[in-house]
Amino acid sequence: MMMSVANRAPYPATRLRRTRAHNWLRRLVRENQLTVDDLIYPVFVLDGEQRREAVASMPGVERLSIDLLIEAAAEWVELGIPALAIFPVTPPEHKSLDAAAAWSPDGIAQRATRALKAAYPDLGIITDVALDPFTTHGQDGILDDAGYVANDITVAALVRQALSHAEAGADIVAPSDMMDGRIGAIRAALEAAGYERVSILSYAAKYASSYYGPFRDAVGSAGNLKGGNKKNYQMDPGNSDEALHEVALDLAEGADMVMVKPGMPYLDIVRLVKSEFQVPTFAYQVSGEYAMHVAAFERGWLSREPVILESLLAFKRAGADGILTYFAVEAARLLHASSR
C-alpha cells in the first residue's frame, strides 16, 4: 500500500534534510536527471555555400549553409546529441501563395536532410512540416478568398511536404501547423508510399504564443506575417483541457510522439499530457525563452551555466522525454564536463 505524504512521521522522526546532507546522497535520491540523450538541437539552414548569418534576436544562434552545417555537426555528433530539427530559411523569391517550394526535392530542408544522413547516418533528423517559411503571407497554410487559412487544401500540401522529407531520408516528420486531420493524412500517405518506418512527431499542443518572435526572425517569416497572428489555428493560451483533446486526436490518427510548444510557460501542459497518455512527450524551449535567458546572462542578472541546466531539468521534472532547445550544444558540453 502506497504511503501518502500526510502519513510521513512528524518531525523530528522525519527530517527531510537528512537526504540533502551530502552530494553523493543527493545524487542517489534525485528523482529526475538531465542527460545528453534528452536534447534535440534546432538548426536554421541557408541556401548557398560558406554562408553564416547571426540571428540578432537570438545571440549565439546562427543560420548556416549546408556545408557549414555538416562541419559543425561533427562536434554535435561527438557530444552524443541524438537528433537535429531542421528549419529552412527560404529566400523571398521562392515564396508563394501556394507554398509550392515546401515539397521541392531540391528544397533547402530536403538537401540538408540528404547531406546530414550521408555524413552522419546515425544522427536523427527531424524535419518541420509547415508552410509558413514558404508562404508570401507568413501563415502556416493556404488562404481562401477571405484570407482564412483553409484547412483541407493546406493538409494536402502538408502531405506532399512530408513525403518529400521522407524521400530525402528524414527519420521523423514533425507537423507544426495545427491543421485538423493532418496527422491521419500524413500517416496514410507515408504508409502508402512505403515509409512505414518514418515517425510522426506531432506538434499536438502548439499555442498561439507571444514567445515565437525571434524564431520568425530566424526563418524570415516575421516580415511576411506583417503583424498578423495565428490564433485561428494555434491554441488559445488560456486552454488546457483542449490540449488533451488535440493530443488524443493526433494519437488516434497515428502520431508516434507529441509536442507541447512553448516550453517553460506551458510545463503544466507537459505534465497533463504525460500523465494522461504516457506516450513519448516532447517540449520546445522556444526562441523567446532562449532570448530572455541570454539577455539576463549578458546583463549579469543570472548565472549562465547553472541556469541553462536548471531550466532544462524543469522539462524533465514536468515529464518531457525530449527537449528541443537552442542550448542543446552548450548543455551537452556542460553535461560532459560534469561527468568527468
Rounded to whole angstroms, how far apart are CA atoms 267 and 262? 9
Is 206 annotated as catalytic? yes
Task: Considering the candidates 95, 206, 230, 274, report the single residue annotated as catalytic.
Answer: 206
Rounded to whole angstroms, how far apart are CA atoms 325 and 263? 9
C-alpha to C-alpha distances, 90 to 96, 155, 180, 260, 309, nearest whole angstrom: 11, 20, 25, 25, 32
> Is the alpha carbon torsion for 305, 124, 35, 319 positive or negative?
positive
Rounded to whole angstroms, how far apart are CA atoms 136 and 225? 8
Cβ neighbors of 207 (< 8 A, separation 6 or more) are: 234, 235, 236, 237, 261, 262, 266
* Secondary structure letter of residue 6 according to DSSP: G
Task: Considering the candidates 95, 117, 226, 261, report the single residue annotated as catalytic.
Answer: 261
The backbone region for 50, taken as left when phi is positive above 0, alpha when psi lies in -120 to 50, beta otherwise, is: left
Rounded to whole angstroms, how far apart are CA atoms 279 and 252? 12
Kindly state the cell numbers that stand for 279.
506516450
The closest of 213, 165, 147, 202 to 180, measured between CA atoms, is 202
Rounded to whole angstroms, how far apart are CA atoms 181 and 314? 31
The closest of 262, 292, 282, 266 to 323, measured between CA atoms, is 282
Active site amino acids: 206, 261
